[in-house]
């Protein structure tokens, strides 16, 4: 399967390059960077090791999409919108791990998914996606008597909050209760807030150091507390999940999928 990476010179992009190179049945055929970036024209192999691969970093995303069977995108929301259009145009499967997408960004993925398989997940980790499934099940089982709080911590450089994964956990919890997250989400508490409103799903955001990603879903009631936790110690888990998703797309019909579909948990 021919796979390309957009934004391949970034920290996550380089991990994706490494994982594609190591995956059986996958051929790394290209990667892109922003126009004017110092990596443009350099050998992709030198981004991840000492051995050239004979493939250069390009600023021509359209050519990369035209050549690939699947493209993996962990870039930025506006760039992902452009990549979704290219995926649909060139019949290329698209795997998206970009976070911070607005409703308009999401609609671009919905549109592309009418033509090609699109896997979108706020977190590509196998363990985190198991946590999504468990969170929905526990929320449905415990019911409204248990207050739900989601605590997440990431490195100091992360720009969006709450994290895409935390919001995904919130959506899973809300789905377990049969409600929309937007109707019950509480992301900010400051000052004299009064008593906690029943049924709300709260979020606490922590930032500092080099934390890859810690997420805990707390179900708290009178007399007991249930906590579900996932801690990531390496970004390689996200890259491995994305490559697994790309392989899963081979031969799939058009549609918008999640990692739960990839893992058979949907």
Q: Binding site annotation covers 38?
A: no
Does 113 appear as a known binding residue?
Answer: no
- Is 8 annotated in a binding site? The answer is yes
26 marked as binding residue: no
Query: Is there a binding annotation on residue 157?
Result: no
Q: Is 121 annotated as a binding residue?
A: yes
**How many angstroms separate the Cα of 59 from the Cα of each of 42, 70, 73?**
11, 17, 14
For the beta carbon of residue 201, count every other beta carbon within 10 angstroms.
Answer: 23
205: exposed, middle or buried (Cβ count in 10 Å: 0-12, 13-18, 19+): middle
Which of 83, 154, 215, 230 is flagged as catalytic? 154
**Active site (annotated) includes residue 90:** no
Q: Is 8 left (phi over 0), alpha (psi -120 to 50) or beta?
A: alpha
Is there a binding annotation on residue 99?
yes
Q: Does residue 250 have a known ligand-binding role?
A: no
The span from the CA of 262 to the CA of 241, in Å, is 9
How far apart CA 113 and CA 98 sit, in angstroms, is: 16
Give the integer Cα–Cα distance in Å for 208 and 102.
25
80 annotated as ligand-binding: no
CA distance 5 to 18: 11
* The one catalytic residue among 2, 89, 105, 158: 158
15 is in an annotated binding site: no
Catalytic site residue 154? yes
Whether residue 7 is annotated as binding a ligand: the answer is yes
Which residue matches tokens 């506006």?
78
**R_g (Cα) of the chain, nearest Å:** 19
Binding-site residues for (S)-2,3,4,5-tetrahydrodipicolinate, in ranges, read 155, 164-165
Q: Which residues contribute to the annotated binding site for NAD(+)?
A: 7-12, 97-99, 121-124
- Name the binding residues: 7-12, 97-99, 121-124, 155, 164-165
Active site residues: 154, 158
């Amino acid at each position: 399967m021919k796979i390309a990476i957009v934004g391949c010179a970034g920290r996550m992009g380089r991990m994706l390059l490494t994982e594609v190179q190591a995956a059986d049945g996958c051929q790394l055929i290209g990667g892109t960077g922003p126009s004017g970036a110092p990596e443009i024209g350099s050998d992709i192999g030198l981004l991840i090791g000492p051995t050239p691969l004979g493939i250069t970093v390009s600023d021509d995303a359209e050519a990369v999409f035209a050549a690939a069977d699947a493209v993996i995108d962990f870039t930025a929301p506006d760039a992902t919108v452009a990549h979704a259009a290219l995926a649909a145009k060139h019949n290329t499967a698209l795997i998206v791990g970009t976070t911070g997408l607005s409703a308009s960004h999401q609609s671009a993925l919905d549109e592309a998914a009418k033509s090609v398989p699109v896997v979108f997940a706020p977190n590509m980790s196998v363990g985190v996606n198991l946590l999504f499934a468990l969170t929905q099940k526990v929320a449905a089982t415990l019911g409204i008597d248990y207050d739900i709080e989601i605590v997440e911590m990431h490195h100091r450089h992360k720009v969006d909050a709450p994290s895409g994964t935390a919001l995904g956990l919130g959506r899973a919890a809300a789905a377990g209760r049969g409600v929309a997250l937007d109707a019950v989400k509480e992301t900010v508490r400051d000052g004299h807030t009064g008593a906690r409103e029943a049924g709300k799903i709260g979020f606490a955001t922590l930032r500092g150091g080099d934390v890859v990603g810690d997420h805990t879903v707390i179900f708290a009631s009178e007399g007991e507390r249930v906590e579900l936790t996932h801690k990531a110690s390496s970004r390689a888990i996200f890259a491995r999940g994305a490559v697994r998703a790309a392989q899963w797309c081979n031969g799939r019909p058009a549609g918008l999928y999640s990692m739960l579909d990839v893992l058979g948990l949907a």
